[in-house]
Amino acid sequence: MKPDFDVIVAGGGVCGLIAAREIASSNLRVYVLEEDFEIGTPERCAGLISVKALSSLGLFPSRKIVNNEIKRALIHSPLGSKVEIEATNQRVIVLNRREFDRELARIAERNGAFIDLGQKVLSVENEDGLVKVKTAKYERSARILVDARGVSSLKPEHGILQAAQYDIQGSWFEKDRVEVYLDNEVNPGFFKWLIPLNHDTARLGVAGYSINPFEQLDKFVKDHKARVMKKVTSPIYIGGASKNFVHNSILYVGDAAGQTKPTTGGGIFTGGTGAVLAGRAISESLINDNLSALRNYEVNWRRIFGKEFIVMSQARKIYERMDNEKIDKMVKVLSSSNILDKLSNKADFDYHSMGIFQILSMMKEHPSLALDLIKLGLGAMFDLFKS
């Protein structure tokens, strides 16, 4: 049977659209199915990314897709301690996700992809050497399917956190500074975040195990006398990469492949890179009629991020075991040392392991700091560094 398309992409978010862009640029027939009726809406992602990471995905910042530039991060401990990290060198920006996604859609369509909105995928079947995809309206077939439907395509035993995000107006935050609120009693395993969009508008979010995110954000808004403009809920996955990204003629990308950072749940860069690699592997496979080339996608992604995700997962396990007193002590230790200056100059926003190892390497110069951090439960990471 002749398929309706060469490739069907299920999901019109960042990763699905980047994959569609890559495949369509090889003159292959690409069909994108998006269940929402508008690209980029709702904005479920906080939208933080570095200029370097954006460029690596073949995209460049513009006034249309960038809301703000972040130069600092303020971390609040549960017991009131604070530490500020200089981030100017990281060149971190806040994306306007609605316009960013729409720009990706325009590029994919210019390359030849067709995007069909309001089409939720109901079932996927492999039959007669083709992948058949059903929606409420019709059935379409393709030689390959890219599953970019997000967390809904995962079946993890752990690692999914309840989360919500508000767009708010307020006057207590600073335009160029992200704020992170740590509290392992109120937000087990995660934190609250505030990301300014301009001088008086910000994205306020929270995630954690077994929490009511709306209840927490409503309280925060009330305490800070803020005004809510929009509410969005979407789970966050921090359980690490899936065991397999490729299953027969189906490739999983982005959240659907567990390609979100175990530390923060961010996935534009890691998932977007996966989409680029998947798109190129699919193009090579179809053009050369060699399905085995699909495996190059997973091999190349793990070569870039495999060790990175191991380190981030280790850091996450340690954080989840820390009580609030230990978190507060760690914040105090960091604020009283010269680690932050070195991190500002050498750390990488996109590769968290670099900052982790930077802290561990500097322990040799600060024996007392090393002892404090080991007592806080970082001994496992110290052993990892030594090995």
Query: So what's the pLDDT on residue 384?
Result: 40
Beta strands (DSSP E) in the chain are: 5-10, 30-34, 48-50, 66-70, 72-76, 82-86, 92-95, 114-117, 123-127, 130-134, 139-147, 160-169, 177-182, 191-196, 201-208, 227-233, 236-237, 246-247, 250-252
For the chain, give every domain's residue range.
5-70+95-155+239-306, 160-237, 310-386
Among the CATH numbers 3.40.30.10, 3.30.70.20, 3.30.9.10, 3.30.420.40, which is that of 160-237? 3.30.9.10
- Fold for 5-70+95-155+239-306, please state it: FAD/NAD(P)-binding domain (3.50.50)
- CA-closest candidate to residue 305, choices 379, 242, 251: 242
- Render pLDDT for 203-249 as a digit per residue (tens, 0 to 9): 999 999 999 999 999 999 999 999 999 999 988 999 999 999 999 99
Average pLDDT, the chain: 89
pTM: 0.91
Residue 375 has pLDDT above 60, yes or no: no
Give the pLDDT mean for 77-106: 93
Bridge partners (DSSP) listed for residue 82? 76
